[in-house]
Amino acid sequence: MRRWIPTVIATTMALAATPAAVASTGQAASGPARTGQARAAAASSTATASSTGAVSSTGAASSTAAGKVNCAKVKCIALTFDDGPGRYTSTLLDLLKRHHTKVTFFLVGAQIGKYPSVVRRMAREGHEIGDHTYDHPHLTTLPDGDIRDELTRPRDAIKKLTGRAPDLMRPPYGDTDERVGGIAAELGMAQILWNGTSRDWELRDTAAITKKVLGLAKRDRVVLMHDVWPETVKAMPKILTSLEKKGYHVVPVTALLRGRSLAAGEVYPVGGWN
């Protein structure tokens, strides 16, 4: 983890700074082009999904965490936590439990083996668990076999620990395309992006993260956060209390779908990254 985190931060910052920054990775020329790519992936994967029948997303999630809040009737916001589990994740789970709140975690395979009991606890306490690759690479730069391997290793580890294979994945850096979408579809996973980011990896300040997340609060928003940073976890008590006061229900991401299932490979929310 220590070894890869700095790279992750540097690249995530570059990507998050401006959509045009994506061009520096040689992946896409601009934001709109990128969105088009994601849409193309969604469209092509829907086709794949219908031919394979791999539309399994939200089945178990909606019967547990996501099903308890009706986002058609109440104001919902999804907080999503990437790159863990880490040393602060248990503290976050304690807090979420006190608030009777469920969220979505996108786990990195390299971390899963270090905190197996935390992964089991996430599942037991009704949180949604997604696949965030084994080693956090830019998936679009890899050959098909490596993409498959990056997604399969954490998927199998999660299944072994929780009894259920994840049907959601989040491509690191939001870096996806038609090919990645096709492989996600093949593995029965929908692709979850975000439309609000805490920028916690660069803020690294509890008050600033709190302010940023509360400023992003909007009905049905999908917020990107990272439970591997202590400042993020420290910001959570105030974030939860303030969101609750404003009438928000913090939910796992699939609860925002109001019962609709995502097709394997489908991108949600469309036009992510903000």
**Active-site residue list:** 82, 226
Per DSSP, helices labelled H in the chain are 5-17, 31-52, 59-63, 89-98, 109-112, 116-124, 144-162, 178-186, 200-203, 206-216, 230-245
Q: Is 175 in the site for Zn ion (CB under 5 A)?
A: no
Q: Which is nearer to Zn ion, 170 or 249 (CB)?
A: 170
Q: Which is nearer to Zn ion, 106 or 268 (CB)?
A: 106
* Min separation Cβ 117 and Zn ion, Å: 22
Cα separation, 41 vs 108, whole angstroms: 23
Contact region with Zn ion (CB under 5 A), list: 69-77, 82-90, 140-148, 258-266: 82-90
Burial pattern 10-46, b for ≥16 Cβ within 10 A else e, equals ebbeebbeebeebeeeebbeeeeebbebbeebbebbb
Contact region with Zn ion (CB under 5 A), list: 41-49, 83-91, 240-248, 262-270: 83-91
- Binder to Zn ion among 45, 57, 77, 83 (CB under 5 A)? 83
The residues, ordered by sequence, that sit 6+ positions from 185 with a Cβ below 8 Å of its Cβ are 45, 48, 49, 52, 54, 263, 264, 265
Q: Is 82 in the site for Zn ion (CB under 5 A)?
A: yes
Binding footprint of Zn ion, residue count (CB under 5 A): 3
191 has which bridge partners? 169, 267
* Min separation Cβ 104 and Zn ion, Å: 13
Cα separation, 30 vs 131, whole angstroms: 26
Contact region with Zn ion (CB under 5 A), list: 80-88, 110-118, 158-166, 266-274: 80-88
* Min separation Cβ 264 and Zn ion, Å: 21
Residues 182 and 48: beta-carbon distance below 8 Å = yes
* Min separation Cβ 11 and Zn ion, Å: 10
* Min separation Cβ 120 and Zn ion, Å: 21
Looking at residue 83, its amino acid is D
Q: Which is nearer to Zn ion, 5 or 217 (CB)?
A: 5
Task: Give the per-residue contact string, 124-163, with Zn ion (x = CB under 5 A; - = no).
Answer: ----------------------------------------
Q: Which is nearer to Zn ion, 82 or 186 (CB)?
A: 82
Cα separation, 44 vs 163, whole angstroms: 29
Contact region with Zn ion (CB under 5 A), list: 110-118, 165-173, 176-184, 256-264: 165-173
The 10 Å Cβ neighbour count of residue 80 is 26
Residues that bind Zn ion (CB under 5 A): 82-83, 172
